[in-house]
Structure 1
Amino acid sequence: MASFNVGPLPGNSDFGAVVTGLTPDMLEDPQVRQDLHDLWIDKGVIVFRNLEGLDAQLELSSIFGEPAEHPLLVGIKDQPRTHHVIADINYAEGHGDTYIINGEEIGGHLPWHFDLAYVDKINHGGILRPHVLPNRGGETGFIDQVTAYEQLPDHLKEAIEGLDIIYSYQTDSSQAKFGIRPEKCVRLSPEIVRAASHPVLQKRAIHPMVYTQAETGRKVLNISPWHAQSIVGRENDEGDALLREVIDHSIRPGRAYFHKWQEGDMVLWDNWRMMHCAAGVPSG
């Protein structure tokens, strides 16, 4: 029977796993597919070493759900793509979003979020693989919101039970209402600005602040700081203060794993459980 090796994420034991010894032909084995799915639910993030190529990415994706097109791509008709469910996320000097972060000009930065918080249907997972490795920067961060909920003080658990959050798409992350914001926006990608004007991204979405993971019964702190606007029914200073306190707890230093990319990596995450961010790369 085909098998693969599982180890912990470097420097992290609370969540996540590293899978080695997995080959593309093994992805057709029903037991391997079930084992990978179970590992994903259990650990939240899986780093696959030495698993390369578009075909392997698509086959791997099919284990965890039906691949779908990202809503932002609906408004970027001229983006070169080899497959409609694959998004090319990149930064080149003079192209793409650029911000001032800690006094340095950084391109390709994305603050803490889970994908598609600003639409009604949230994708269950995502898989990233690198095309070009930067000389410096480029890490992708992950925070486990199962652990974040478990470590919430009891008074905050009680305060947020049954509450919902209003989300809307925020193009300029330096203007985000919550979370860690860049100091200044230098440049926004014209393609993203154009895509953000699409009607599907002009609506608000509402999602519960806490949900229970169906497979395990674990409670998940279901918060996406970047696009959060307010708590339903508490769109006031008091409600914002509560939301800010919970978000600040969830993204506090030391909670995250930052993945340093290597050739041949693929990284899968449970988007219903994990927050992620892109550290970005120095401009120039």
Structure 2
Amino acid sequence: MKHIECIAIGNELLLGIVEEKNISWLCKRLTQAGGVVEQGVIVGDVPDDIEAAVRGAILRQAALVITCGGLGPTEDDQTMAILAEALNRPLEEHPEALAMVAERYRALYEAGEVPHPDLTPERRKMARLPRGAIPLRNTVGTAPGMLINIGDRTWVCALPGPPRENRPMVEQELIPRLGEIVPLHAYRERHYEAAVRDESVLAPLLQIVQRQHRDVYVKSRAAAFEAQTTFRLLLATRAPTAEEAEARLDAAEQSLRTILGEHGIALKTYSSHAPA
């Protein structure tokens, strides 16, 4: 199955100064959109480490490799240059990306957010992309992202690090193109609460459900460990069609209710999710 891998970049993430929030959000959003995310990693601002992470994902035949961070105007924002090196593409100023940067600084200047709209070398740096890249518009920050096909049906996408910039770019620029990059599947999930205090009692019953429905993911987690402990249960699946996914969950839910009921464990539906 063609998959997606995500790489978060930044020393501040590894030092714990900034909490990494992009990978978990991307995993959820891309899964909802029908993609399959198989790996997410954090690397520091070390060119060799970033290049190794990207090359590793390509060697694992990821259909889409996403990087987050390192697109800004400062010296340690090196993601575009490192990707150009890793992909064996020259780094060059992209006219469309430059126009995006100019437009953002003009708007910021008119809003009184920056002292001038001039395209300084630091600002022009953000318009330098690997040759063949498609610039992605940043409607919140100043640095464009990029999407590039490197052959063998592999794409690389560079996104900004701040979540307030990252998420709009994903929604506006990446999600609409996702079906052209990876095969999309219908993903569905349902959540339940089971009135049981001991997960060791629940575990063998869930194993039975999992063995009966191998195409459904079955998982439990404690909501709290106290007198009124309940466990939240997840049933999730992906299928070629929404109807097939729902049918799988219907069958698994019936098995779950039957098995838990036989052991006196009440089950109630917590929520049911389809892609937004």
Question: What TM-score, normalized to structure 2?
Answer: 0.29
Between Structure 1 and Structure 2, whose CA radius of gyration is higher?
2
Give the structure with the larger helix fraction. Answer: 2
Choose between structure 1 and 2 for higher RCO, CA contacts under 8 A separated by at least 6 residues: 1
